[in-house]
Amino acid sequence: MSSKANRFEGLKAYLTGYGRHNRDALTFIAEYEHWPRLALKEIERRATAILANLPDDEVKAIARRAVSLRKLARQVQTELDKE
């Protein structure tokens, strides 16, 4: 089995369970053409949820580009990798 197939086994298992309980919904999933567009919207929603948990002054600093959330997250990743 390819690594790509292994990578998406969880998704396939989810769809299998979903389809066992709701075949009509699985048919909809199989026929719907706009999953990539919706996935992009979901990524934005999740990013928005991260910002929603921050204090206003930090969100404003990010908006003004006074701080880069990406750079700060990379710094934290580096620090955590050292642990």
Q: How many domains does the chain have?
A: 2
Q: Summarize pLDDT for 14-72 with one digit per residue, the tens.
A: 999 999 999 999 999 999 999 999 999 999 999 999 999 999 999 999 999 999 999 99
pLDDT band at 6 (very low <50, low <70, confident <90, very high): confident
73 and 38 in a common domain = yes
38 and 66 in a common domain = yes
Q: Which residue is it, tokens 């075949």?
A: 23
Name the maximum alpha-carbon separation found in the chain: 50
Asked if the model's pLDDT at residue 75 lies above 80, the reply is yes
Domain that holds residue 70: 34-82
Q: How much is the pLDDT for 2?
A: 56
Q: Which amino acid is at 66?
A: A
Asked if the model's pLDDT at residue 1 lies above 80, the reply is no
Q: How much is the pLDDT for 35?
A: 98
41 and 25 in a common domain = no
Q: For the chain, give me the number of helices (H) and strands (E)?
A: 6, 0
